A and B are shown apart, each in its own frame.
Chain A
């Protein structure tokens, strides 16, 4: 139509462009809450850090706590378990990475790098087998502990040693060590 051609195209198009851009920005800001509501809600986030009282745990005892919906193994190791773990040559391990979120990503899987404290008594690990996600046995006194005295996953036969490192079986990685620290002598904060 002739009316269209005589008008300056840039002025007419600008308003359509501005309107379209504005509307698109509006649509995007509406879309965000729809997407974000599926993210972990406030109750989940509130439990993303927990504090655990470890004052009652004796040497050679383990407890399991729930953190972010998963079991966390907290074990106070005996001297024998510590020695067994320290003697192992890291290069012979199937997974040489410490998998410790409190250290740098390339730390090697020495027993020092697996333990939480300087005395190496305390082991804090996510109790989920790194193969396909079952919960390994070994926390209770009567449990099977596998060939290396630590934990044993009954689903597909992964064996973990007394530092929670994979030694035999289909799992490829050592048990994950979450961000954790001693708040004081009696309390560990995880997360």
Chain B
């Protein structure tokens, strides 16, 4: 009897909310922001994991295209060799690091000096500070890549924001970034584009300060993969996800073990409870 009442209530809640939520969309921006599609990633889902080759390609895109404007301050060169990452060897990491110049000091004369990067260094910033970054990019600050994949999202509306709670969907950021990188299109006739801005289907307001960063064959992949825009966008997005969540693989692996443990323990406790309560009438 109680259960049917609860069901009635849930149904009422659902219809009540649906009325409001499906009909109106308060997040429509000035231009028409195209809806971001869900993309398939190797790291999504309960058994998600990174694809080493993809992360290495993504790193190459970052290094050759993005890093001229975008810093990645919280990522260290040594992270590239860590478990659950692009899978470079410590020797390769040493070489990669040494190709960078980092600022160190002060030396014994009180001066800051430049030296080769070491594995223990973090990725250096292309600019000395935010102001320089803004000045070099028409007032717009190219955001740091370290957690960018977690700092972006897509509006999914009802009931998706509820459903997403239980499907483990956490790739909203990379789906958006992937779409954005593929989203540079010809300016529509009736659209007023401001000076210095570029048209993008997915950016809120459709005007983005960043010029199209990727063109076919912008990069020559070390593993010979064809470097289409869509391929590079996918690879660099995956790389950004790793940069934001380097512990993703170990987190999901641990989660699986914890889940098994808790289910077994719940079972044991259930039978214990039944045994103990069988002593009295209840």
Q: Please give the residue numbers on chain A whose beta carbons come within 8 Å of chain B beta carbons, in ascending order.
A: 1, 3-4, 12, 15-16, 18-19, 22-23, 26, 42-43, 46-47, 51
A-B contact pairs, 7 of them (CB 8 A): A12-B275, A15-B272, A19-B272, A23-B265, A26-B265, A42-B76, A51-B118
Could you tell me the distance in whole angstroms from the C-beta of A144 to the nearest C-beta in chain B? 21
Cβ-defined contact, A15 with B78, below 8 A: no
How many residues of B are in contact with the other chain, CB < 8 A?
15
Contacts of A12 in B (CB 8 A): 275
Cβ-defined contact, B279 with A46, below 8 A: no
**Interface SS of chain B: helix, strand, loop or mixed?**
helix
Contacts of B272 in A (CB 8 A): 15-16, 19
Contacts of B275 in A (CB 8 A): 12, 15-16
Q: A18-B268, A19-B269 are in contact. Are A43 and B279 (CB under 8 A)?
A: no
Closest residue of chain A to B274 (Cβ to Cβ) is A15
**Separation of A2 and B112 alpha carbons in the complex (Å):** 84
Could you tell me the distance in whole angstroms from the C-beta of A163 to the nearest C-beta in chain B? 26
Closest residue of chain A to B271 (Cβ to Cβ) is A15
Could you tell me the distance in whole angstroms from the C-beta of B132 to the nearest C-beta in chain A? 26
Closest residue of chain A to B79 (Cβ to Cβ) is A42
Contacts of A42 in B (CB 8 A): 76, 78
Contacts of A22 in B (CB 8 A): 261, 264-265, 268
Which of B120, B268, B279 is A47 in contact with, Cβ under 8 Å? B120
Could you tell me the distance in whole angstroms from the C-beta of A85 to the nearest C-beta in chain B? 28
Contacts of B269 in A (CB 8 A): 19
Question: Told that A19-B265, A26-B265 touch, could you supply 16 new A-B pairs with CB distance under 8 A?
Answer: A1-B279, A4-B279, A15-B271, A15-B272, A16-B272, A19-B268, A19-B269, A19-B272, A23-B265, A26-B261, A42-B76, A43-B76, A43-B120, A46-B76, A46-B78, A47-B120
Q: Which of the listed residues B264, B271, B275 has the most CB atoms from chain A within 10 Å of its own CB?
A: B275
Cβ-defined contact, A3 with B279, below 8 A: yes
**Interface SS of chain A: helix, strand, loop or mixed?**
helix
Q: Which of the listed residues A4, A19, A23, A43 has the most CB atoms from chain B within 10 Å of its own CB?
A: A19
**Separation of A15 and B78 alpha carbons in the complex (Å):** 47
Closest residue of chain B to A30 (Cβ to Cβ) is B258
Which of B76, B118, B268, B278 is A3 in contact with, Cβ under 8 Å? B278
Closest residue of chain B to A47 (Cβ to Cβ) is B120
Contacts of A1 in B (CB 8 A): 279
Could you tell me the distance in whole angstroms from the C-beta of B118 to the nearest C-beta in chain A? 8
B119 at the interface (CB under 8 A from A): yes
The 8 A CB mask of B244-265 against A (1 = contact, 0 = none) is: 0000000000000000010011
**Separation of A46 and B272 alpha carbons in the complex (Å):** 48
Closest residue of chain A to B76 (Cβ to Cβ) is A46
Closest residue of chain B to A22 (Cβ to Cβ) is B265
Closest residue of chain B to A16 (Cβ to Cβ) is B272
Cβ-defined contact, B120 with A46, below 8 A: yes
**Separation of A19 and B261 alpha carbons in the complex (Å):** 11
Contacting residues of chain B (44-87) with chain A, CB-CB under 8 angstroms: 76, 78
Contacts of A51 in B (CB 8 A): 118
Contacts of A43 in B (CB 8 A): 76, 120
**Separation of A89 and B275 alpha carbons in the complex (Å):** 79
Contacts of A4 in B (CB 8 A): 279
Contacts of B278 in A (CB 8 A): 3
Contacts of A47 in B (CB 8 A): 120
Q: Lowest 8 CB-CB distances: which A-B pairs, in order?
A: A46-B120, A19-B268, A19-B272, A22-B265, A15-B271, A46-B78, A15-B272, A47-B120
